[in-house]
Chain A
Amino acid sequence: MGRMESSPPRRVHLDNGGRAPWHPLAREAFLQALDDGWADPRRLHAEGRRAARLVDGAREAVAAVLGARTEEVRFTHSHTAALHRAVLAGAAGRRRAGDRVVVGATERAAVLHAADAAGRRETIPVDRLGRGDAGAFAAAVAGPGVALAALQHANGEVGTLQPVEQVHDAARAAGVPLLVDAGASLGHARVPETWDLLAADPADWGGPSGVGVLAARGRVRLPDVGPEDAEPWAPGGVSVPLAFASAVALESVQADLDAAGARRRELVDRIRAVVAGVPDVEVVGDPENRLPHVVTFSFLYVDGEALVTELDRQGFAVGSGSACTASTLEPSHVLAAMGVLTHGNVRIALDRTTSAEDVERFLAVLPPAVERVRDALGVRGL
């Protein structure tokens, strides 16, 4: 027999924001729900009722994590769809109050675009660390004609946590419902119960894509904004296996949330420390009040696309907010709002399965990769 083939080095996937590998229990739950929940949950027969029970159980499980009542939690077709509906219906339900929608500058594009579609958008700036000004938010929601406010719990690109409790206090005093986008945080960090509407993303916590979560407190009015449907938050109904697998994944990650968070926080601290030692780099985002698993940095004089490609060639998948890596040719609106360097950007979101060894291997290849990409542009000494 011939010699043993040396296996190619294992890929290290460090781009887990918004799309992480499935949690093993989510996969099991999905397969179980294919057997038990394939029927239409709106039908009255035994098969339909069995599927309906899986969805109801899933809503109950998500509600328990959110600190909500089961009937306040709905599954949607995606996190984006949940954000669209929350903004459009939330604003429509407050039409008599006005048409202004107050949003943070680093909200997801789905929120910004939906706010533009719903009425007049007022955008509250963030500081260099990406944190929204709670005072400016409070003043804006207290102004005339405000229908709705939206503030993310944490930013998924740079990890910075937002002052949602303070802003919710101000919004509540003004009688304005607050949408909290927990799309980057639920399943990774404790999400405060200070919200009127909440959107979340199962694909971000190790559940499936193709399903989202929209929670609305009973006091919030959400009129239909689309064609009539029995399930206006998810026209035609959601996939039972996807909803069920989402909830099982959330329960699973919630069970050791603090331990998984502490472990990843240490790895991120290690990445921040090593990366800060590379010449001409900005490590961006709040170093303390942040998600445990997200870290982002920008290298001066580096082509983001070239760096992502070079790292990929060496077996490491990372994200980037640089214009050259985006289909739009526009840089990340989050980095732009923070006033930090948008080129040469690398975005990392650690998975629960990312090991210390994965991180060390990455940190060994990153500085020479940056140097190679810089040398290709001839920027030595600038």
Chain B
Amino acid sequence: MTETVDARGLRCPLPVIRLAARAKELPGGAEISVLATDPAAQHDVPAWARMRGHETVSATESDGVWTLTVRLRRGIPT
């Protein structure tokens, strides 16, 4: 079961912030998706994941909505 954060209509850096806030409540290894219409999200979600040691598992776009899915790293949550 993948958690989903709906950040459609929010501008950068809010999609990443909403994603990070939800990720904090989830265990390592969990997958979490964020829906975003802001064009910066496609770049900033993978960059955030890299900085935090998470893994971007997919990034797709359909009708102007990005769905970016991240697998959280195991170990001490950050």
Verify A339–B43 contact, CB threshold 8 A: yes
Contact of A382 among B12, B20, B40, B46 (CB under 8 A): B20
Verify B47–A339 contact, CB threshold 8 A: yes
- In the bound complex, residues from chain A placing their C-beta under 8 Å from that of B6 are none
**Does B13 sit at the interface, judged by CB under 8 A?**
yes
Chain A: interface residue count, which band?
20 to 34
In the bound complex, what is the Cα–Cα distance between A280 and B44 (angstroms)?
13
**Does B51 sit at the interface, judged by CB under 8 A?**
yes
Whether A377 touches B13, Cβ cut-off 8 Å, given contacts A280-B51, A282-B51, A339-B46, is yes
Mark each residue of chain A from 316 to 344: 1 if its CB lies under 8 Å from any CB of chain B, else 0: 00000011100001110001100111111
Verify B17–A342 contact, CB threshold 8 A: no
From B12, which residue of chain A is reached at the shortest CB distance?
A343
**Does A171 sit at the interface, judged by CB under 8 A?**
no
Verify A300–B40 contact, CB threshold 8 A: no
Verify B40–A342 contact, CB threshold 8 A: yes
Whether A342 touches B43, Cβ cut-off 8 Å, given contacts A301-B13, A322-B12, A324-B11, is yes
Verify A343–B46 contact, CB threshold 8 A: no
Q: Could you name 27 residue pairs across A and B whose Cβ atoms are closer than 8 Å?
A: A282-B51, A298-B47, A300-B48, A300-B51, A301-B17, A304-B12, A322-B12, A322-B40, A323-B11, A329-B39, A331-B12, A335-B43, A339-B50, A340-B47, A341-B43, A341-B48, A341-B51, A342-B40, A342-B43, A342-B47, A377-B17, A379-B17, A379-B20, A382-B17, A382-B20, A382-B21, A382-B24
- In the bound complex, residues from chain A placing their C-beta under 8 Å from that of B13 are 300-303, 343-344, 377
- In the bound complex, residues from chain A placing their C-beta under 8 Å from that of B34 are none
In the bound complex, what is the Cα–Cα distance between A296 and B25 (angstroms)?
32
Least CB distance, A333 to chain B, in whole angstroms: 10
In the bound complex, what is the Cα–Cα distance between A331 and B21 (angstroms)?
23
Number of A-B contacts (CB under 8 A): 68
**Does B16 sit at the interface, judged by CB under 8 A?**
yes
- In the bound complex, residues from chain A placing their C-beta under 8 Å from that of B20 are 301, 379, 382
Verify B12–A324 contact, CB threshold 8 A: yes
Q: A304-B12, A331-B12, A342-B43 are in contact. List 20 more A-B contacts (CB 8 A).
A: A282-B51, A300-B13, A300-B51, A301-B13, A323-B12, A323-B40, A324-B11, A329-B39, A339-B46, A341-B43, A341-B51, A342-B40, A343-B12, A343-B13, A343-B16, A343-B40, A381-B24, A382-B17, A382-B20, A382-B24
Interface residues of A (CB under 8 A from B): 280, 282, 298, 300-304, 322-324, 329-331, 335-336, 339-344, 377, 379, 381-382
Interface residues of B (CB under 8 A from A): 11-14, 16-17, 20-21, 24, 38-40, 43-44, 46-48, 50-51
- In the bound complex, residues from chain B placing their C-beta under 8 Å from that of A300 are 13, 16, 48, 51
- In the bound complex, residues from chain A placing their C-beta under 8 Å from that of B14 are 377
In the bound complex, what is the Cα–Cα distance between A203 and B7 (angstroms)?
41
In the bound complex, what is the Cα–Cα distance between A303 and B67 (angstroms)?
22
Whether A330 touches B46, Cβ cut-off 8 Å, given contacts A301-B16, A343-B16, A344-B13, is no
In the bound complex, what is the Cα–Cα distance between A331 and B20 (angstroms)?
20
In the bound complex, what is the Cα–Cα distance between A366 and B40 (angstroms)?
24
Contact of A331 among B24, B43, B48 (CB under 8 A): B43
Verify B51–A343 contact, CB threshold 8 A: no
- In the bound complex, residues from chain B placing their C-beta under 8 Å from that of A377 are 13-14, 17
In the bound complex, what is the Cα–Cα distance between A340 and B14 (angstroms)?
17
Q: Rank and list the top 5 A-B pairs by shortest CB-CB distance, nearest first.
A: A343-B13, A343-B12, A341-B47, A382-B20, A323-B40
From B11, which residue of chain A is reached at the shortest CB distance?
A324
In the bound complex, what is the Cα–Cα distance between A218 and B48 (angstroms)?
49
In the bound complex, what is the Cα–Cα distance between A331 and B16 (angstroms)?
15
